[in-house]
Structure 1
């Protein structure tokens, strides 16, 4: 058996087969995460149309083998795109990014302040001039009633959704000071 000696003059041939396989599997896993997104979130991920169509096809398929093959195809398409913006969008959906987590905490604190004291509406009106204060007031009232009656927190969640939409409407910087030092409720 002849041993292969390393020749320093030989050129680097690129990544090993094992590394290529790991990279391919990682892209396929990222593609699987994309395929598990709902329509609204998928629309917000920065991907090209071919990849978006392939993901939509995967979501339509029900047969296991068809989904497996489509996932491989998605993995192949992923080789031609930069995965970092996709990872960043998926992390934001999962609430992994520190910025997204801080924003969620700020909105939760604002909602808690609003539930405790209707005067917080004044802060919301100043920060978000286009806010529908009547809708927010009604949601606040309904959220309080739900809590007192022990009902599911539909209005409570809807209030959060409305506040989040206001903030993403371009007033992110103005909302920084709205949490007012309220501590998070458990």
Structure 2
């Protein structure tokens, strides 16, 4: 029984219906997590305690057993801090703040790449003023190679590598982490 405040008449806790709606939202989130690949999961801020449960749920294929394991995963998720679940929802939401930040960062990297290809050393000097950790020599070499690729109508290998190098410099990520993100390069590379 949830009880009421005698002075205001408000309920002390959420109704059973509200609790059920929240539980179903967590179950839906659990289903989305289980549907993701390992690479996609690695990019999300999933609490470490949930990862073994997610993997176990993925492993089970029998319908009833999978459904039962999914319910168990949702139960474990409800034990997590609400802020952690909200961060996870936001990271998974295409319209969420995290997605907007990532798209903005991608556009910023693409703009720098185009500036480097169009303006050359002047743009490189501006980039190095803003991001002093960037490798001047490597960027200069990639710009030269990219321009040569375009002139000879070759595949855009250096164009992609320039994107990865800029992303590592601008976002502070290791260039090795970006090796599998060729699909994130812009459509202008044709």
**TM-score, normalising length: structure 1:** 0.65
What is residue 111 of structure 2 aligned with on the other side?
Answer: 109
Paired residues, what number? Answer: 162
Closer/same/farther in 2, CA of residues 164 and 108 from structure 1, 3 Å limit? same
State the shift of 1:127 in Å: 2.3
**Alignment match, 2:161:** 158
Instruction: Please provide the CA RMSD for this pair.
Output: 3.5
Question: What aligned pairs does 1:82-161 form with structure 2 within 5 A after superposition?
Answer: 82=82, 83-91=85-93, 94=94, 96-97=96-97, 98-119=100-121, 120-148=123-151, 150=153, 152-161=155-164
Q: Which has the higher helix share?
A: 2
Report the Cα distance in structure 1 between the residues aligned to 2:140 and 2:95, rounded to whole angstroms.
28
1:70 & 1:152 partners in 2: Cα distance? 47
The residue aligned with 1:34 is 33
- Larger mean CA deviation between 48-57 and 35-44 belongs to 35-44
Matched residues in 2 for 1:12 and 1:95: separation? Answer: 34
Answer 1 or 2: higher relative contact order, Cα 8 Å, separation at least 6: 1
Structure 1 unaligned runs (5+)?
1-7, 171-184
* Structure 1: 4+ residue segments shifted above 6 A: 8-11
Match of 1:63 among 50, 61, 64: 61
User: What are the ranges of 5 or more consecutive residues in structure 2 without an aligned counterpart?
Assistant: 174-187
* TM-score, L = length of structure 2: 0.64
User: What is the CA-CA distance between 1:115 and the residue it aligns to?
Assistant: 1.9
* CA drift at 1:79: 0.7
Q: Is the 8 A contact 1:95 1:101 kept in 2?
A: no
